[in-house]
Amino acid sequence: MKVATFNINGVVRRLDNLLEWLREAEPDVVCLQEVKCHNSEFPERALEAAGYGAIWKGQGAHHGVAMLARDAQPIETRRSLPGDDDDREARYLEAAVEGVLIACLYAPNGNPQPGPKFDYKLAWLERLIAHAASLLETGLPVLLVGDYNVVPTDFDLYPSRSMKDNALVQPAPRAKYERLLDQGWTDALRSLHPDEPMYTFWDYLRDAWKRDAGMRLDHLLLCPAIADRLREASVDRDVRGREKASDHAPAWIRLA
């Protein structure tokens, strides 16, 4: 099984990019973030024609997540992250595909910090930690896949003084990501590539792509029950350099 995460940054605008990558990469499951469309606008038919069943949760011009499965239909189990009934932002989907429970997540950015957006980011990550613990207790094969909006360490970031106040690199969200790993989750990209930055995001500003001024924001975490099935993990960097590209590149794993 090949599972990918891809912050598409507007699925309608970048549908051609997405379809081209799907044809090339042939992932079995894709978790999309920032679909940025109303539910009625999601390109279900185009994806179905490409061989992918889909579930999604849109939110107009903001946020939004989706899960695609090749020659299958994801069996939805949850449409929101538990812990805050007042949270209406479309940031979490959970579904079973071929016997694996997969969480597709888009964590809050948190900028500017300090402030209410950063507080929301920390609270959201705390809810994720609690829910991840409950998923581990099931004993099921589980993946936590998506854009965490956390750069785990300085090694996951191009050398930059301009980022020192950015919410993505602050000690508090980094500590929460580390608490997730301490539960027993395996960071697939870092596990198989301990000596490479493995960037997944390059800003549109300041020629970041040309300078390879990237950062690792998109993570695929494996529970202990499935970690020994990890065979490959990589980032399709070239997708970021294409015309009308998202500012993220797809990251993926292959499980035995």
pLDDT at 162 > cutoff 90: no
The pair of structure tokens assigned to 162 is 């301009």
Taking only Cα atoms into account, the Rg of the chain, rounded to an integer number of angstroms, comes to 17
User: What is the Cα 36 distance to its own chain's centre?
Assistant: 15
Domain limits, the chain? 2-255
Q: Is the overall model pTM greater than 0.85, yes or no? A: yes
Query: Which tens digit of pLDDT belongs to each residue from 168-215?
Result: 999 999 999 999 999 999 999 999 999 999 999 999 999 999 999 999
Picking from 176, 199, 198, 188, the residue whose alpha carbon sits closest to that of residue 231 is 188
Residue 201 to residue 249: CA distance in whole angstroms:
6
DSSP character at residue 157: B
Residue 28 to residue 255: CA distance in whole angstroms:
11
Query: Which tens digit of pLDDT belongs to each residue from 50-83?
Result: 999 999 999 999 999 999 999 999 999 999 999 9
Q: Quick one: pLDDT band at residue 161, thresholds 50, 70, 90?
A: confident
CATH code reported for the domain at 2-255? 3.60.10.10
- Provide, rounded to the nearest whole percent, the portion of the chain with pLDDT above 70: 100
